[in-house]
Amino acid sequence: MGKDEECCSTQLIDGDGSFNVTGIDQFIKEVKLAECGLSYAVVSIMGPQSSGKSTLLNNLFHTNFREMDAFKGRSQTTKGIWMAKCSGIEPCTLVMDLEGTDGRERGEDDTAFEKQSALFALAVSDIVLINMWCHDIGREQAANKPLLKTVFQVMMRLFSPRKTTLMFVIRDKTRTPLENLEPVLREDIQKIWDSVPKPEAHKETPLSEFFNVEVVALNSYEEKEELFREQVANLRQRFFHSIAPGGLAGDRRGVVPASGFSFSAQQIWQVIKENKDLDLPAHKVMVATVRCEEIAHEKYTAFVESESWHKLEEEAKAGPVSGFGKKLNSLLYTSLSEYDSEATFFDEGVRSSKKRHLEEKLFQLAQPAHQTVLGHLRSGTLEKFKEAFEKALNGGEKFSVASRNCTESYMARFDEGYEDAVVELANWDSSKFRDKLRRDIDAHVASVQAAKLSELTSSYQAKLTDALSGPVEALFDGANDETWLSIRNLLKCETESAVSGMSKALSGFDLDEHTKDKMLMSLQDYARGVVEAKAKEEAGRVVIRMKERFSTLFSHDSDSMPRIWTGKEDIRFITRTARTECMKLLVVMAAIRLEDGADNIEKILFSALLDTSNSAATKTTMADPLASSTWEKVPPARTLITPVQCKALWRQFTTETEYTEANKRSNNWLPPPWAIVALLVLGFNEFMTVLRNPFYLAVIFVGYLVAKALWVQLDVSGQFRYGVLPGLIALSTRLIPTIMDLIRKLSEQGQMPPTPTHNHPRMSAAAASKKFENRSTVSLTDSSDPDKEE
């Protein structure tokens, strides 16, 4: 990139005083000034014509301002005001080259433009370079002294004070050391400042309040060019990060954001251009503006520093303040009244404008305290509402009545406190605090209501679970043709009772009919779900239930007494009867029947699994009715056990119960007659030996008693009822504990003192039978439970 493209120079104001709006806008786009925010600096240079200003800027900032050709003689080179972007300096720095003063081209009428351009430079620049010859120091009409005097005076009246750095660049330094030149120059500047008429507000204001004064000296560019360039390079370093604290313009004030620089510069030039005598603003308005600003500032400062305000502010932070509105209103009224009293003789428009500004500042200062008080009032009212609401509910009051009464009561209390905190002068709209309180109250009521409803629903669900789960399980345990009818009646009764109770409880809540109906319907669905869940649970244990029922029916007669096997019983009939009852259990568990309606599950299962003659005929004529995954007239959602599963479960059931039937069929303990004769002949010697030796007889008798006791305790026949392998496994796990239990009982009987014989109660036959039945049932359950077998 070339030097011309890097610096992006443009003419800001032409020689006739016309502002180049199009040029400055294009320039700002090219240098991307709008993206800088506040991170930019403006540097300008003023000084006599042909004093080397452009040369200094080009060497110092690497710009391309037009320079004078010394061989063509001294003449005006820069016309108007030019602007360029400094190359390689951070942050973004703009530099303005002003037309030289005392030029012969403008003649005697150049004073106006010189003053306007100088004032413009001071108004928009952070750093102003004043180029001057070394030999002019100490001379009254040199070094731009008249110009500086006029600029100082108008600067204070026309613009808000801004901290500008004035850097006096002494050109063509002589042998006189800078240490000797600088005090003389600073003394001249101070004299100019002291001689300038100042407004009342700045009578005692020192020069340092408006300007930072810097002095540097440079050797001659023509005579000592290398030294000049070296000195300029050192000076250039001071412009890096010039706006940072400690930089050349580190304490500047009133910076215009970069995006508004163009408009600000246009307005400043317009004001300067339209007032040739620099009497802007008008003396009356200027004085009124400055003085009213001072009065307003004094009153604002007095309000901020007053003990009454500090005390009220601290009280507001701590909590609600009684009479806060009247106290704050009194403080504001006093401050504004004092302003009116002191500013009464100044221009009315300015006075009113500054009063409005003062009001805005005071209101802005006081409003946070007012909002804090309302915040305390809102939070305190909310907490008291919660306590009162909870107390009302615990006292047995209906939910809807308690919420309505408490809400109305505590909203009224908030309104009373709100009226006490109103500031009449401010007329603040603080309705948002009331709205926020109402939202918080409504949210709390909704939260408590949701919790109460959830608790109520859980309570009735638990009641339904207790009321349905056990009875339904008992009905499935004794399943018969009336099981589902009984379950439907039970479900209807318990559901109606729960719905009635919950409906009565819901009447205390402020619920619409749709919500109430939805909750009651949900409770009904829950009750139905309990029954369905219990049905699915029992369906998963149907084989165990069938085996238990088969064992009970097979081992007991019609009077529920243990069956005594004599060998003359019709085992086939007993088995078929027991299996028929087990089939009824399978029919009941095959599907959920909570709605009225007939199905053909019982007919299909009995014909396919029990009626062997029909089943055989069916197999030869038509397809297997159980070869399906659905029941006719039964939706899949109501199916618990599919036809295919029923067939598999019945096969498993019959396989595991066949041993019992076979065991009873072969339950004839007497051997054939020929075997008895063989035993008598072959065992005669051993029999005689036993008779001749009573000891052998006693050992055999004791062994018989022990074996009989173990047989009864272990329920050997019952253990082998479901197969040889399960029986062996069950016996192996119970043998040692049973033997130890018999030894313990014998030991306890041996240690007991003898008692009279007539005190021993005689166990009835029924009790003995019941005891045996219980022991057999427990043994059967242990052996048939798959989990225990494993």
Is 50 marked as binding a ligand?
yes
Is 452 marked as binding a ligand?
no
Is 497 marked as binding a ligand?
no
- C-alpha 607/C-alpha 616 separation (Å) is 10
A 10 A CB-CB count for 93 gives: 23
- C-alpha 31/C-alpha 84 separation (Å) is 9
A 10 A CB-CB count for 262 gives: 19
- C-alpha 441/C-alpha 82 separation (Å) is 67
User: What is the DSSP track for 10-58?
Assistant: EEEE-TT--B-HHHHHHHHHHHTGGGGTT-EEEEEEE-BTTSSHHHHHH
- C-alpha 122/C-alpha 269 separation (Å) is 12
Neighbouring residues of 468: CB distance < 8 A, sequence distance ≥ 6: 490, 491, 494, 527, 530, 531, 534
Is 264 marked as binding a ligand?
no
Is 51 marked as binding a ligand?
yes
Whose tokens are 């190359």? That residue is 87
Nearest C-alpha neighbor of 546 from the set 518, 508, 579:
579
Is 508 marked as binding a ligand?
no
- C-alpha 248/C-alpha 245 separation (Å) is 9
> Is 131 buried (19+), middle (13-18) or exposed (0-12) by CB count in 10 A?
buried
Is 197 marked as binding a ligand?
no
Neighbouring residues of 156: CB distance < 8 A, sequence distance ≥ 6: 196, 198, 199, 202, 210
Is 322 marked as binding a ligand?
no
Q: Would strands 127-133 and 10-13 be described as parallel, antiparallel, or unpaired?
A: unpaired
User: What is the DSSP track for 378-395?
Assistant: HHHHHHHHHHHHHHHHHT
Tokens of 247: 């930089």
Q: Would strands 40-46 and 92-98 be described as parallel, antiparallel, or unpaired?
A: parallel
Q: Is 95 helix (H, G, I), strand (E, B) or coil?
A: strand
- Please enumerate, by residue number, every residue annotated as part of a binding site: 47-54
- Please enumerate, by residue number, every residue annotated as part of a binding site for GTP: 47-54
